[in-house]
């Protein structure tokens, strides 16, 4: 590899004259025996938006955590503005002007917007919190990104999208020279994504260097000047965006030609009787919703983040408190009422929650333990676990979802975000559920794995399961669903058949531009 | 303009390199301490005691160490379930041990041993249920709840007994049990090991133990997997209560007497053993076998202090220091894992 720090060594035609504001050279990061980042160099200039892509576990987050001083590399060095950065020192990195917006939200839910924005750098006067100054900085940061939100609102009461923006405001409040965003759009709807991308362009226009991670290739091509591809911890290429194509980037990511075509709709789905039926569901944020899902059918819930879809499905299956309405599950001629969350699970429901880290996984436990949890009864006799069967079972499910690396004894917390999502799926697939509810099933999952997960969802439906999918990823919803209900303000405002729906028709309903008939 | 970036940017200044190495080592050390450290540290302590502490390496002394370790070890083994479930500790073992001891002697003096055991079991189940429901179902804080049940239990016991000491008959079964031996080993010690192994199997092999660990690691994810989490917590506190009951039996049988003040310090001593063993106060991680090692460590340490003529005050201080040290190592290790 070239010793010089010149940019884009692969592309001889693009010699840059400006100095990189941040450059990492020969970064190596190991976790025990695992090499997460293997001799990677990257340099980004002021005013540049630099895309970073790669499959799940490619080492993107790890590399960024090294750049932001969260992790100390085993080898290599980071320089900001020519000055070497103290490795593994977050404070030093912040002072040098490197701000990282983590892949997983890191705000304190009980604290207010203003407090969160200044978290870790709270201004003080005579040792007391200087609330005035705190508010001023928070207001400035929010203004900078053009978002208006009540400063005194606790984070817990904000929508996921708004939390994401507060997180960015927090990074901006540090007045960085380099802003790193690790999959910021994974939780956003198309409109919110568009807003974020515009905002980033504006910030870059003012001289900020931005490193942008996403699994959504079109976004990379919308805003980035250059893109770096990582594969298995190694640097594959860095190219000018104008000199490459989405197909070529994906090919670099996976290292082979990939069947990029996601399967669209199933040939002709065999749809049976109503299995899951909900009437008049009420809960905070949910207004008397009726819903039916038939055997073999994939029903999609579309809408903006915060429309009440998560609240609806959770209230329906009893995961959260329900103030009104009733849900039933009908299988083999018997109808059972959902009286509690456990009664739903016993009746054959599988629920894949939106927040994998808080709701989906026990991060300090091994993959095998997480998979065992919902399947413990099937894997035991008289309450004693059969350890051999537990292992075989977990191994086969890890294979089914293509977990990488497939080490079932590893702690789930050590896996990359996308692979963690696969573990959440694996634990429920083992139950062969009759009703499966998936809330954002492919959030943070790479293109290849996404196709895999879609294939699994089709397979479940083809085998007669009633499938309900909540997704803010509109193309995904359009591909998967046989029927789409659009939710706004806790109500179903329109129902479209998967065949006829398109992005425009769903978004029009979701944003309230059109009042549809139907419910 | 790019000139200065061509200078050797590949190597960091040596200072930074050294710092980095130190940090890596410190991080690894805390993790190692939390996970494997107890084995080595316990071995070192025993070797140290054998070489340098007069009177340690004699059969009567070792037997005495184990006889004292047995009741606390059984209590700690049970309480390990509560700690792993992420509910910090069960302070009410103090009340439970004393109650079980007093019931064993006082009730069997009047109604016979079987009735005494039945009453004690019933009381233990009640403790498990009350603590478990308050913590697991009503989601109250375990420290506050068990501190309160300690007050209720001990208060009731003192009120009923008036603080008097109960003596068992000199030819009774209880005394026979307290002094019995299996070959060279005191029966209490054998019971301690058997109970530890049994509870260890419950924790590692059964679905109940599995749910306790899972709940300790992530409550919400465990609930959403369809687990009746209230039952899991009640179960964990019941294991603690049964351990405390057995511990109370052993303690009372050992001296053939019982009094409401007999179990002072059992809360923190068991906690010290559990945490020193490497079970995490954050829940989710740990084992009963580790607690066994922790108990050996704490008991040997106490014995060394006694043999060296250090008073109760110093011993108490040492236990306090030990807990602070162990929870700090635990927190450090957890930080290492989280990053
Ligand atoms: N704390 C850790 N302990 C052990 N291994 C780790 C740890 N963090 C990351 N890894 C490993 O390092 C590799 C790279 O992970 P990283 O999170 O950087 O991937 P990523 O490219 O961000 O993936 P994703 O797109 O899924 O977020 C993975 O194999 C992962 O399992
Ligand atoms: Mg990542």
Question: Which pair of structure tokens corresponds to residue A4?
Answer: 């010089």
Question: Which pair of structure tokens corresponds to residue B312?
Answer: 């109760």
Looking at residue B89, what is its pLDDT? 94
Average pLDDT over residues A223-243: 95
For residue A13, pLDDT beyond 80: no
Antiparallel, parallel or unpaired: β A334-337 and A324-331: antiparallel
CB-based contact B11 A353, cutoff 8 Å: no
What is the distance between the alpha carbons of residues A49 and A209, in angstroms, rounded to a whole number? 6
Average pLDDT over residues A112-135: 82
Question: Which pair of structure tokens corresponds to residue B327?
Answer: 């929870």
Starting from the edge strand earliest in sequence, which strands make up the sheet with A49-53, in order?
A98-101, A178-182, A209-213, A49-53, A226-231, A234-240
CB-based contact B226 A341, cutoff 8 Å: yes
Q: How far, in Å, is the centroid of ligand 1 from the Cα of A57? A: 5
Residue having the nearest C-alpha atom to atom 17 of ligand 1: A416
∠ at Cα B115 (B76, B250), nearest 5°?
30
Given the CA of residue A37, which atom of ligand 1 is nearest to it? 14
In sign, the C-alpha dihedral spanning A101, A105, A108, A113 is: positive
The 8-class DSSP code of residue A124 comes to E
Q: Which residue of A has its CA nearest to B282?
A: A364
CB-based contact A383 B208, cutoff 8 Å: yes
Residue B242: how many CA atoms within 13 Å on its side-chain side?
13
Q: Which ligand is nearest to the CA of A37?
A: 1
Q: Which of A322-331, A433-442, B175-184 has the lowest mean pLDDT?
A: B175-184
* DSSP codes of every residue in B156-167: HHHHHHTT--EE
Instruction: Tokens 């035991």: give the residue.
Output: A380
CB-based contact A369 B214, cutoff 8 Å: yes
What is the distance between the alpha carbons of residues A258 and B188, in angstroms, rounded to a whole number? 67
H helix or E strand, kind and range, residue A86: none
Which amino acids bring their CB within 6 angstroms of ligand 1? A 31, 34, 36, 54, 56-62, 103, 414-419, 444, 446
With a CB cutoff of 8 Å and minimum separation 6, the contacts of B182 are: B190
Q: Which residue has the higher pLDDT, B300 or A259?
A: B300
Looking at residue A270, what is its pLDDT? 87
Antiparallel, parallel or unpaired: β A49-53 and A209-213: parallel
When CB atoms are compared, the residue of B20, B214, B228 closest to A373 is B214
Q: What percent of chain A has pLDDT over 90?
A: 64
The 8-class DSSP code of residue A401 comes to T
Question: Which pair of structure tokens corresponds to residue B273?
Answer: 């053993």
Report domain extents, chain B.
35-338
Burial readout A205-218 (b: 16 or more C-beta within 10 A, e: otherwise): eeebbbbbbbbbbe
> What's the mean pLDDT when you consider all of chain A?
88
Mutate to test the pocket of ligand 1, among A40, A54, A62, A63 (most ligand atoms within 8 A of CB): A62
Helix (H, G, I), strand (E, B) or coil at A442: coil
Q: How far, in Å, is the centroid of ligand 2 from the Cα of A65? A: 10
For residue A156, pLDDT beyond 90: no
CATH numeric code, B35-338 = 1.10.3470
Beta bridge mates, A37: A29
For chain B, residues with pLDDT lower than 70 are 1-35, 335-339
For residue A101, pLDDT beyond 80: yes
Looking at residue A513, what is its pLDDT? 74
| Each residue's pLDDT tens digit, A438-458 | 999 998 888 888 888 898 899
Whole-number Cα distances in Å, A449 to A254, A396, A454: 11, 17, 9
| Local confidence band at A108 (pLDDT 50, 70, 90 cut-offs) | confident
Looking at residue B13, what is its pLDDT? 31
Specify whether the CB–CB gap between B291 and B274 falls below 8 A: yes
User: CA A194 from chain center: how many Å?
Assistant: 16
Whole-number Cα distances in Å, A187 to A118, A183, A280, A441: 23, 9, 28, 11
Number of Cβ within a 10 Å radius of residue A24? 24
CB-based contact B337 A20, cutoff 8 Å: no
Q: Which ligand is nearest to the CA of A403?
A: 1
Burial of A17 (0-12, 13-18, 19+ CB in 10 A): exposed
CB-based contact A383 B206, cutoff 8 Å: yes
Residues around the ion ligand 2 (C-beta < 5 A): A 61, 103, 417
Q: How far, in Å, is the centroid of ligand 1 from the Cα of A414? A: 7
SS3 content of chain A, % helix, strand, coil (to 5): 35, 25, 40
Helix (H, G, I), strand (E, B) or coil at A99: strand
N-term to C-term CA, chain A = 62
Q: How many residues does chain A have?
A: 519
ipTM for this prediction: 0.82
- Minimal Cα–Cα distance from B277 to chain A, Å? 18
Specify whether the CB–CB gap between A486 and A303 falls below 8 A: yes
Average pLDDT over residues A286-295: 94
């Amino acid at each position: 590899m070239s010793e010089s720090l010149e940019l884009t060594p692969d592309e001889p035609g693009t010699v840059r004259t400006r100095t990189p504001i941040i450059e990492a050279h020969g970064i190596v990061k190991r976790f025990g025996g695992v090499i997460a980042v293997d001799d990677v160099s990257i340099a980004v200039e002021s005013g540049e938006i630099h895309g970073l892509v790669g499959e799940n576990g490619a080492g993107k987050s790890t590399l960024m955590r090294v750049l932001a001083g969260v992790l100390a590399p085993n080898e290599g060095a980071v320089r900001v503005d020519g000055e070497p950065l103290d490795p593994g020192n977050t404070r030093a990195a912040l002072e040098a002007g490197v701000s990282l917006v983590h892949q997983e939200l890191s705000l304190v839910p009980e604290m207010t917007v203003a407090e969160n924005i200044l978290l870790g750098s709270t201004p003080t006067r005579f040792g007391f919190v200087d609330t005035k100054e705190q508010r001023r900085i928070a207001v400035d940061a929010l203004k900078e990104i053009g978002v208006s939100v009540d400063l005194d609102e606790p984070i817990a009461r904000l929508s996921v999208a708004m939390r994401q923006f507060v997180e960015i405001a927090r990074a901006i409040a540090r007045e960085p020279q380099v802003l790193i965003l690790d999959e910021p759009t994974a939780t956003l709807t198309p409109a919110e994504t568009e807003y974020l991308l515009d905002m980033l362009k504006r910030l870059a226009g003012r001289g900020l260097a931005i490193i942008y991670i996403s699994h959504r290739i079109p976004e990379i091509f919308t805003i980035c000047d250059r893109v770096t591809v990582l594969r298995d911890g190694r640097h594959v290429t860095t190219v000018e965006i104008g000199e490459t194509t989405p197909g070529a980037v994906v090919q670099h990511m996976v290292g082979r030609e990939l069947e990029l075509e996601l399967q669209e709709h199933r040939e002709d789905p065999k749809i049976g009787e109503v299995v899951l039926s909900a009437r008049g569901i009420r809960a905070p944020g949910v207004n008397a919703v009726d819903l039916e899902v038939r055997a073999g059918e994939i029903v999609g819930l579309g809408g903006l983040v915060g429309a009440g879809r998560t609240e609806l499905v959770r209230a329906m299956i009893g995961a959260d408190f329900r103030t009104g309405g009733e849900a039933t599950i009908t299988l083999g001629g018997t109808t059972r009422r959902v009286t509690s969350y456990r009664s739903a699970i016993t009746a054959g429901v599988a629920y894949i929650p939106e927040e994998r880290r808080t709701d989906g996984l026990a991060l300090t436990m091994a993959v095998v333990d997480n998979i065992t949890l919902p399947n413990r009864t099937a894997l035991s006799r008289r309450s004693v676990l059969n350890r051999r069967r537990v292992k075989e079972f977990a191994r086969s499910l890890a294979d089914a979802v293509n977990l990488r690396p497939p080490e079932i004894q590893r702690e789930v917390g050590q896996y990359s975000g996308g692979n963690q999502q696969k573990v959440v799926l694996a634990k429920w697939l083992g139950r062969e559920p009759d009703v499966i509810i998936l809330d954002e099933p492919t959030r943070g999952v790479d293109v290849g794995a996404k196709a895999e997960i879609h294939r699994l969802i089709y397979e479940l439906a083809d085998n007669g399961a009633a499938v309900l999918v909540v997704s803010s990823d509109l193309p995904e919803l359009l591909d998967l669903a046989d029927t789409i209900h659009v939710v706004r303000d806790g109500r179903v405002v329109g129902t479209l058949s998967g065949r006829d729906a398109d992005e425009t028709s769903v978004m029009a309903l979701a944003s309230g531009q059109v009042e549809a008939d139907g419910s | 303009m790019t000139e200065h970036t061509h200078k050797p940017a590949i190597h960091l200044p040596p200072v930074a390199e050294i710092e980095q190495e130190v940090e890596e080592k410190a991080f690894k050390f805390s993790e190692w301490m939390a996970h494997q450290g107890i084995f080595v540290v316990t071995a070192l302590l025993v070797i140290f005691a054998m070489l340098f502490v007069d009177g340690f390496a004699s059969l009567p002394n070792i037997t005495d160490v184990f006889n004292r370790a047995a009741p606390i070890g059984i209590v700690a083994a049970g309480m390990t379930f509560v700690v792993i479930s992420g509910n910090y500790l069960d302070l009410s073992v103090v009340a439970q041990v004393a109650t079980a001891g007093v019931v064993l002697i006082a009730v069997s003096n009047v109604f016979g041993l079987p009735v005494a055991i039945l009453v004690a079991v019933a009381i233990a189940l009640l403790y498990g249920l009350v603590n478990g429901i308050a913590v697991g179902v009503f989601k109250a804080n375990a420290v506050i709840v068990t501190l309160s049940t300690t007050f209720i239990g001990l208060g009731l016991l003192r009120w009923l007994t008036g603080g008097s000491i109960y003596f068992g008959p000199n030819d009774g079964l209880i005394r026979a049990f307290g002094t019995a031996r299996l070959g060279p080993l005191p029966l209490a010690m054998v019971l301690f090991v058997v109970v530890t192994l049994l509870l260890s199997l419950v924790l590692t092999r059964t679905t109940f133990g599995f749910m306790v660990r899972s709940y300790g690691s992530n409550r919400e994810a465990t609930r959403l997997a369809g687990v009746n989490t209230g039952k899991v917590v009640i179960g964990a506190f019941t294991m603690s209560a049964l351990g405390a009951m057995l511990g109370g039996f052993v303690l009372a049988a050992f001296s053939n007497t019982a009094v409401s003040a007999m179990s002072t310090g059992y809360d923190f001593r068991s906690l010290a053993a559990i945490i020193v063993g490497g079970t995490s106060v954050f829940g989710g991680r740990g084992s009963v076998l580790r607690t066994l090692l922790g108990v050996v460590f704490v008991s040997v340490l106490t014995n060394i202090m006694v043999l060296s003529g250090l008073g109760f005050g110093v011993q108490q201080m040492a236990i306090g220091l030990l807990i602070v040290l162990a929870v700090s190592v635990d927190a450090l290790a957890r930080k290492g894992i989280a990053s």
